[in-house]
Amino acid sequence: MLPLDGIDRLLLDGFQRDLPLEPRPFAAIARDLDLTEDEVIARLAALQKAGAVSRVGAVVRPNTAGRSTLAAMAVPAGRLEEVGSLVAAQPEVNHCYEREHRLNLWFVVTAADAAGVAATLARVAASTGLPVLDLPLEAEYRIDLGFPLRWT
**pLDDT (tens digit per residue) in 62-87:** 777 789 999 999 999 999 999 999 99
Q: Does 141 fall in a domain?
A: no
Task: Assign 145 a pLDDT band (cuts: 50, 70, 90).
Answer: low
Residues 72 and 126 in one domain: yes
Say yes or no: 84 and 45 in one domain.
Answer: no
pLDDT on residue 69:
94
Boundaries of domain holding 105: 67-135
Asked if residue 9 lies in contact with residue 150, where contact means CB atoms within 8 angstroms, the answer is no
Residue 142 domain flag: no
If asked whether residues 73 and 131 sit together in one domain, one would say: yes
Domain count, the chain: 2
Q: In the predicted model, is pLDDT for residue 140 greater than 80? A: no
Confirm whether 74 is domain-assigned.
Answer: yes
Q: Are residues 79 and 131 in the same domain?
A: yes
CB 87 within 8 A of CB 107: yes
Q: Give the DSSP H or E segment for 101.
A: none
- What is the percent of the chain where pLDDT is above 70? 91
Residue 12 lies in a domain: yes
> Rounded to two decimals, what is the model's pTM?
0.62
Fill in the DSSP letter of residue 95: E
Position 27 scores a pLDDT of 96
Task: Report the distance separating Cα 117 and Cα 133, nearest Å.
Answer: 12
The model's pLDDT over 8-48, given as tens digits with 9 standing for 90+, comes to 988 888 877 778 888 999 999 999 999 999 999 999 999 88
- Does residue 59 surpass a pLDDT of 70? no
Identify the pLDDT of residue 144: 66
Contact 11, 48 (CB under 8 A): no
Residues 110 and 72 reside in one and the same domain: yes
Contact criterion met (CB below 8 Å) for 42 and 89: no
120 in the same domain as 84 = yes
Bridge partners of residue 135, in order along the sequence? 70
- Tell me how far apart the alpha carbons of residues 16 and 7 are, in angstroms, rounded to a whole number: 14
Confirm whether 150 is domain-assigned.
no
